[in-house]
Amino acid sequence: MDLKEKLISSFMAFENNVDVDHPVHDIRSSAIKNFEEKGFPTKKNEAWKYTSLNSLQKVDFSIFPKEENTIEYKDVKKYFIHEIDTYKIVFIDGIYSSYLSETTHDGVDICLMSSALTKPMYKAVIDVYFNKIAAKDESLTSLNTAFSREGAYIYIPKNKMPKKPVEILHFATGNEATLMLQPRNLIIVEENAELQVIERHQSLTSNEVLTNSVTEIFAAKNAIIDFYKVQNNVSTASMIDNTYIDQKDKSVVKLHTFSFGGKLTRNNLNFYQNGEYIDSTMKGVTILGEKQHVDHHTLVHHIQPNCESHQDYKGIYGEQSTGVFNGKIIVDKIAQKTNAFQKNNNVLISDKATINSKPQLEIFADDVKCSHGCTIGQLDEDALFYLQSRGIPEKEARALLMYAFANNVLESVRIPELKARINKLIAKKLGVNLGFDI
C-alpha cells in the first residue's frame, strides 16, 4: 500500500477518535476528498519541479503513534531558548506534553488546538478563522486539514502582548520506526496586539520522520508579529511547512526561516495583504551540506494599495546539497503604490551543490515599485586574501566571509538570545570557532 492509500484508509480510523458531528469535521471530510483527488504533487507540477516527494512516499510511515512517549527536559533543554523565559507548547510524537509545556489563559490564550477544536468556548473563534486562509485546493494542505486535531492555538486579544515569546516545539522520539506528523496551528493576533513565536521541529533519533504542517496566522489592524522558524533537523527528518498569513491594515509581520538541516524541507510561505499600509517581511538563512534539500516557495499577494513586502534570502550550499528559491509576487490591479522587494543571494561552496532560484512577478498595477535580484556565486577571492593576509587561516577566513554574507538577515531578529543562538548555529554549521561570540 502506498502512502496515499494508507493515509486515506487511516482517515476512517481517525474518524473514530474525533467528534464527527462537529462542524470542523465537514471541513476535514471535504479536505480528504481533495487530497484523494489530487494526491501527492509530482514533478510535473511546476511548483514541485525541483522537489521530489517520491522517495518519501515509499516509506511506510506510521500515521498514529501507538503509545505515548516521554522525554526528560534535560535531554532536550538545548532545543529551547532556555536562556529566557518563554511560553512553551511542546509535542512529543505529535502528542501534547503538559510537563514540558507552559501554556496560559491569563488575558491571552496560548494553548492547544485540540482544546480549541473541541471546547464550546472557542467555537466562535474557530468558526471565523479555522481553515479560512489555508488553501482549499492544495493537496498537502488538504491532507493536513483532514487530519487536523492537534497543534498550537494562540489568541491574542486587542491591545495585548504576551509577557514573553512563545516556543512551539515538536519532538520525534524514535519510539516508532517511522512517523508522520501533521500539526495544525492557528494564531490570531487582534488589533494593536503583538506576538513573538519560535517554532522548531526536532527528531531525536535517526528514525525516519515526515512532518506536514499547516499554520494559519491572522494579523488584525496594527498587529505586530515576529515568527521564527528554526530548521536544524537530523538528516532523516523531512518537513513540509505550509504557512498562510492574512494581514489587515498597518499590520507588520516578519517571518524568519533558518534552515540548517533536515533531509528534505519545503517551506510554503503565503502572505495575503488584505488591507492597506501593510508590511510583510520574509527573511531566510540557509546553510546546507550532505545531501540535504531545502525548497523555499514564497508568495506575497498584494491585494490592496500602499503596502510593502521585503524578501531577503541568503543561501550557502556545500557538499551535494540542493536548494530552491521560488519567490512569487502578485500585485493586483488596484494595489497601486506597492513596494515589493525580493533578494536571493547564494554561495555554492562545492562543485556538486546546486541551487535553482526563480523570481515570479505578476504585476497588474502600473504605479508600483518592484525589484528582484538573485545571485549565485562563489566567495570573493580578494576578500579571502584580505583576511588571510591578516593571519586568519583559510578555513576560518572562508567561514568569516560566509558569516558576513548571511549576517544582515539576522539584523531584524528581535530576541537577542535567539539571535545569539542562531549565530552559534551558523558558526557550528560552518564548522569553525570564529574566536569571538558573534
Partner 1 sequence: MLKINDLHASVDDKEILRGINLTVNAGEVHAIMGPNGSGKSTLASVIAGKEEFEVTKGSVELDGEDLEDDAPEERAHKGIFLSFQYPVEIPGVSVTNFMKTAINESRKARGLEDMPANEMLKLIREKSELLEIDRKFLSRSLNEGFSGGEKKRNEIFQMAMLEPKLAILDETDSGLDIDALRIVANGVNKLKSKDNAVIVITHYQRLLEHIVPDFVHVLHNGKIVKSGGKELAHELEEKGYDWLKQEQAV
Which residues bind to partner 1, rule: CB under 8 A? 380-383, 385-394, 396-397, 400-401, 403-404, 407-408, 410, 434-436, 438
Q: What's the grid cell of residue 322? A: 540542493
Q: For residue 116, what is its C-alpha cell?
A: 480549541
Question: CA torsion angle for 235, 215, 179, 207 (degrees, to 10)?
Answer: 20
Buried b (16+ CB within 10 A) or exposed e, 377-403: eebeeeebeebeeeebeeebbbbbbbb
Write out the DSSP string of 164-196: S-EEEEEEE-S-SSEEEE--EEEEEE-TT-EEE
Q: For partner 1, give the closer residue by CB, 125 or 384.
A: 384
Please state, in angstroms and as integers, the Cα–Cα distance from residue 219 to each residue in 155, 298, 310, following that order.
11, 18, 17
Signed CA dihedral, 100, 253, 138, 26: sign only: positive
Query: What minimum distance in Å lies between the beta carbon of 433 and partner 1?
Result: 10
Shortest distance, position 426 Cβ to partner 1, whole Å:
10
Nearer to partner 1, 29 or 388 (CB): 388
In whole angstroms, how close is the CB of 437 to partner 1 at the nearest point?
A: 9
Closest listed residue to residue 209, CA positions, set 242, 244, 183: 183
Q: Are 183 and 170 in contact (CB under 8 A)?
A: yes
DSSP line for 216-245 = EEEE-TT-EEEEEEEE---TTEEEEEEEEE
CA distances to 62, 181, 258, 263, 358 from 59, in Å? 9, 14, 27, 14, 30
CB nearer partner 1, residue 2 or residue 380: 380
Single-letter amino acid, residue 115: S
- Our CB check for partner 1 shows the closer of 220 and 422 to be 422
Indicate the residue among 148 and 423 with the shorter CB distance to partner 1. Answer: 423
Quick one: 303 or 427, whose CB is closer to partner 1?
427
Name the minimum Å distance from CB 373 to partner 1: 17
Q: Of the two residues 107 and 393, which places its CB atom closer to partner 1 in the complex?
A: 393
Nearest approach, Cβ of 86 to partner 1 (angstroms)? 26
Least distance in angstroms from the C-beta of 422 to partner 1: 12
Nearest distance from residue 393's CB to partner 1, in Å?
5
